[in-house]
Structure 1
Amino acid sequence: EKEERKYDALILASLIEKEVILPEEKLIVSDILKKRLEKDMKLEVDASVVYAKCDGYYYFCKERDLGGKDLFIDSPYNTYRFKGLPPSPISNPGIDSLRAVANPTKNEFYFYFTTKEGKAIFSKTKEEHQKKVNIFLK
């Protein structure tokens, strides 16, 4: 069981590695994803869908932008379709992502997205999240 927890932490860190850039944002996203897992919510991690879309070749993938149909890809890595962690890491996480999983910053957020400039935007509710997506990503 201890080894399984370590592997799950590695998977979670790999998601964080591909989702956000700044170490302080990784700490917040770690807490968000852990809360989603605890509440049996879908993780909805774009990076895992890109991994599925590109058959595991994230780094070499030219199709990193997701369209609506991509969220329906039938893959255990599609965290929009399936609850829980994907079956394996999607990247080799750096030290900041590993630290974020070990010591997340507790917060009141449940949703986030990353702008084209790489800044994470956080929200407490799905409605607030959607409003911010419409402002920042449209």
Structure 2
Amino acid sequence: MGGSFDEDLPTAAERAAKAQQRIHELQQRRIELAAGGPPSLESAREAQRHADEALERAQEAHRAAAHRHDDLAKIHERAANALQRAAMLGVDDPAALQERADAHWQAADLSHTESAQELAEANDPSKSSSDPGRTHADP
């Protein structure tokens, strides 16, 4: 990886261009099939390649989301620490500051949990909420 996590991710414009290209390819394939063009071994291989690429992009998105959740957790932890320091120094209303700090600790914990979930989904796509075979009731 490069200097930062973001350097390794495609830009929104790159993702949009790739999506447009894929849309065009799918439209062309639909026209061929509608005209009676039979599926071929090559088209099956191409479809598999596209499916593999889509899976990799989904895993990449989950890893990026996990990274963002970790960043958010750190921000909440810093805010909670600052609020607790202020409360200990007797600034303003210490009880109110501690309540706000507690809310940030809870938010940080939630962000850590969401990060772990995103990493699990990146490592095992069957755990993904976008897995068509998974229902909301699945663990």
TM-score between both structures, scaled by the size of structure 2: 0.23
Is the radius of gyration larger for structure 1 or structure 2?
2
Greater relative contact order (CA < 8 Å, ≥ 6 in sequence): 1
From the two aligned structures, give the one with the greater strand fraction: 1
From the two aligned structures, give the one with the greater helix fraction: 2
TM-score between both structures, scaled by the size of structure 1: 0.23
